[in-house]
A = this chain, B = another copy of it.
Amino acid sequence: MLSDMSPRSRRQLLSMIGKAGGGLAMYQAMTVFGHAAETRFTGPPQLTGARKGSTVLVLGAGLAGMLAAHELTKAGYKVQVLEFQDRPGGRNYSVRGGDKIVEVGGAVQNVGYAPGNYLNPGPWRIPHHHRTLLHYTKAFGVELEPFIQLNHNTLVHRKDAFGGKPQRYRELSVDFKGHVAELLGKSLNAGALDSSVTREDKEKLIDAMRQWGVLDGDMKFTGDLRVSAQRGYDKAPGGGVGGAPTPSKINSLSDVLSSQVWSQIGFFFSYVMQTTMFQPKGGMDMIGKGFYRQVGKMVRLNTKVTRIAQDDKGVTANWTDTVTGQSGESKADWMVCTIPATILSQIDIQVSDTKKAALKALPYSNSVKIGLEMKRRFWEEDYSIYGGHSFTDQAIGLVSYPNNNFFQDGPAVLLGAFAGRAGGYQFAGMTPEQRIQTALDMGSVFHPAEYRKEFRTGASVAWSRMPWILGCCASWTEQSREDHYDNLVAMDGRIVLAGEHASYYGCWMEGALLSSLDAIKRLHQRALAA
């Protein structure tokens, strides 16, 4: 194993690989050392030598479908893509002024955002380790900018904590670690853990608690100036005469516990949520548009697939043009089907019973996002909040602040709700106007003086009411994964499924892309062997 080599030998080998293969080879070699075991992506697939004249039908022009079309075309296949909607991208989607959102149930929203403003109702942030996506955004010329995920200055609200008054995350998180450090320090000093830690580790741990918790000489967490240098001051440091700061008062252990701030701390520690994160400049749909620039010529929009069949010779999809009403069928040798399970399970499709069972068993999450356009960036101007999220235990879940155009005058769109689970169903059951009003009520807890005063217009996307998907994204349970995942992803005759639902990265664009790459590699192998 490479990992058994001496550091010097490793370095030499790495250097040789670097000279020979450049960045990507190096990257893969690094992976062996555990420096970068963060992705399955090893560069775009090198598929070549498709049989002359071989054809593939791709269903769905979301990211998985468009990536399949792009790479299979490069491999030599002739590809056609059928897409239900009047635009490419699928859930890679940005809602803008002038857009019309039509829901199952009949509700229609005409979006009134100012030019340049948008809501990303689906994916909205990109982890630094989603290297498949980062590879193709770069390859397709999609510019990215930082997404501010962790902002210490945002607010945390729980109905039952601090009399319902939101607290700054920085204050709660500093106080939490201070109290934890004081208590663990006390246990260590009292010898309560002498059977669990060595004498040497105990000394180091006490020192660690003192520094990490910012404890005083008696190992107490108190509100001294050193603590304020983390949680903020009552009177900030100034210049000139009277510049000395005064410390802020820490919260009691009981108060900090009532805030349950560890949920937020844990959220920031989640690998997919860790900094550095990105978003496309100008809206998430820039990614879908980047993919579409590669494959647009192969895509037939407004095409509703009604039946999927296969036999020894090939595959057939029957469809209806949703604009003209015209019916038709498309044939090919092979098929990559990226239609979400929520929809595909309702279509007449010729696959094995186990795959049909998998499609029916796969649970989808529901969620609702609401974008509130405000007349000005009061969260920046009045609260010094630049990006990031304020959290609440109300149904909206959070308020998230825009990460583009910091400091600009004029209207900007806040994410006024990212409601999931019960909250998602609650919001989905409302009219669009009720959703806005409820989001304004709930979000006012953070910005009581400004929230309604500065509100301009809003729009919401309730995923369970989007006719083309009827849900947000795959939400495998351990049991459904165990029972059905292998059956879902297995190639079935001439048909293979792809999309975030066919991955262990459900709900992420990266999952859709990794699934697509895996699916087309298997399809290509099968096609060459056929």
- Give chain A's interface residues, CB within 8 Å of chain B: 7, 10-11, 14-15, 17-19, 23, 26-27, 30, 34-40, 128-129, 131, 134, 137-138, 144-146, 148, 150-153, 163-165, 170, 173-174, 176-177, 180, 183-184, 186-187, 190, 192-193, 196-198, 200-201, 204-205, 208, 211-212, 214, 228-241, 243-245, 248, 253-254, 257-258, 260, 262-263, 265-266, 269-272, 274-276, 278, 376, 378, 381-388, 403, 406-407, 448-450, 453, 485-486, 489-490, 498, 502-505, 511-519, 522
Contact = CB atoms under 8 A, between A and B. Distances in A.
Contact of A129 (B214, B238, B384): B384
Contact of A239 (B152, B174, B517): B517
Nearest to A376: B23
A243 B276 contact: no
Given A15-B453, A151-B275, 8 more contacts: A10-B448, A14-B449, A37-B236, A131-B384, A146-B403, A173-B269, A239-B517, A243-B515
Contacts of A490: 241
A271 B232 contact: yes
Given A131-B384, A184-B183, A243-B514, A450 B253 contact: no
Contact of A201 (B245, B254, B270): B254
Contacts of A229: 270-272
Nearest to A519: B240
16 contacts: A19-B453, A26-B382, A39-B236, A129-B236, A146-B146, A148-B276, A151-B276, A170-B274, A180-B180, A183-B184, A183-B197, A187-B187, A211-B266, A232-B271, A237-B503, A243-B504
A201 B183 CA distance: 12
Contact of A208 (B7, B148, B257, B378): B257
For the complex of A and B, 10 pairs with smallest distance between CB atoms: A240-B518, A239-B514, A239-B515, A192-B192, A237-B504, A239-B503, A187-B187, A14-B449, A152-B274, A212-B262
What is the total number of copies of this protein in its complex? Answer: 2
Contacts of A138: 407
B257 A204 contact: yes
